[in-house]
Amino acid sequence: MNCRVATTSSSRSAASATGLTSWRQWVEPWYLAYALLGAAIAGLAPILLPLTVSRIGNAADVGLVMAAFNLGGLTAPAWGGLADRHRVHRGLLAGGLFVVTIGLVAFAFTTASTVWLVLALLISIGAAGSSTVANLFVVEAHPQAEWDERIGWLQTFYGGGQVGGLLLAGALSQIDLRLGLIVAAGLTALAVLPGWLTTRTPPGGLTTKPVLLHPARHGEWAMGSPQRLFHHLSREAVRQLKPALLSPFGLFLVVWLIGFAGAAAVFSLYPVIMQQAFGVAPGISSLAFAIAAGLGLTLYSPAGHWSERFGASRVLKIGLGLRLIAFLGLSALGLANIEGQGGLALSGFALVVLAWSLLSVSGTAMTARLSPVGEGAGMGIFNAATAVAGVVGAVLGGWVAGRWGYHAVSGLAAVGSALGLLLAFIARPMQSDKG
């Protein structure tokens, strides 16, 4: 699809000219639906799903289920095309939320591994269907000068939902996992109301789609965010994939895929790793994740400033370096049996979460700079690579945990971060951040 860029500076200047400075000018009632979706999909589900599976299944089962949970992001092109061709934005939003609700309820009462896989995929597909149209409600219903502020607030609602969901997961995981999944289903069911009653499908589609260079302002489940699913791997991007992969952009994607896949192994199994390898109860690990995710929200603006001042590739390397240090520390803790290792493990994981802000901003900037097939197509390839890395990381993480124990997953993540960082230094075409 063809693209055009909505710049931050033009949006801010237009906002200043019109005098629209209150946040209420940029927020609409249907944002509540995405906050509730963020709470369920980015907050509750990533904690409750692996814990539920681990109670009955083995480590490999946990990895496969979480891989299926990440796989739905790759269906975004189908939902985006459906919305554009048939003008069913409103139906996709409400229908996707309903599918997520059914999937979560069914998951709560299932003990078969095959059914787990199907339901996890169903949940992720439903979330992708709802999230894909999020930015379309903005860019097809409002002038370009307002996109920056509106989408920024949309991301804020989704990120806030994630933090709230993590806090809720911490409390419910101590009571009853089944109840937690039912509560998550209740949140998405509740989201149907503002999603259906306060939205209206835009009357006509744009002839070109804007490039929205807003990094996902929340935790690691990047493919669940509205912004990530707006850019997907289109047919045009597929046709241009070979020359793109043979360019410096391809080198960057290799760095990103390897580094992200290693980290995804830990994120997919996070509550089980903390419980089995470090003796941290799910309630405490969820609370720690929520605090780290909330602090990470404050780093996006500084990360953007650092990328402009020092170069996106340097910020990317710093993010990978921080993760390497954190994963090496977690690996050492997993091998040792020292008093107070739970607190040290949570501190190490918090560093991993905080580094995501640097990686998300720099990765988005690197994609815009290096893509030889246009920014929109490049973002689609970048997000598809992120989804694939999430799936691969979850599968590998489950396999490693089943073979060598949950403490070994941190070692896998350290290897991925180290290889990604090494390639980032070796790949000379990535060194220049200008031009």
pLDDT at 221: 67
pLDDT at 327: 98
pLDDT at 435: 39
Nearest Cα to Cα of residue 218 among 155, 148, 165, 126: 155
pLDDT at 38: 94
Question: Cα angle at 267 between 266 and 271, to 5 degrees?
Answer: 90
pLDDT at 234: 79
pLDDT at 431: 58
Beta strands in 247-359 (DSSP E): none
pLDDT at 228: 83
Residue 68 near residue 121, CB atoms below 8 Å: yes
pLDDT-flagged residues of the chain (< 70) = 1-21, 205-208, 221-223, 428-435
pLDDT at 429: 58
* Domains of the chain, earliest start first: 3-13+25-430 (1.20.1250.20)
Angle between helix 31-38 and helix 113-132 axes, rounded to 10 deg: 150
- Reported pTM: 0.90
Nearest Cα to Cα of residue 296 among 236, 364, 375, 349: 349
Number of H helices, E strands in the chain: 21, 2
DSSP 174-227: TT-HHHHHHHHHHHHHHHHHHHHHS----SS--SSEEE------SSS-GGGSHH
At residue 6, the 3 state secondary structure works out as: coil
pLDDT at 336: 86
What number of other Cβ atoms are within 10 A of residue 434's Cβ? 5
pLDDT at 8: 40
CA distance 249 to 352: 25
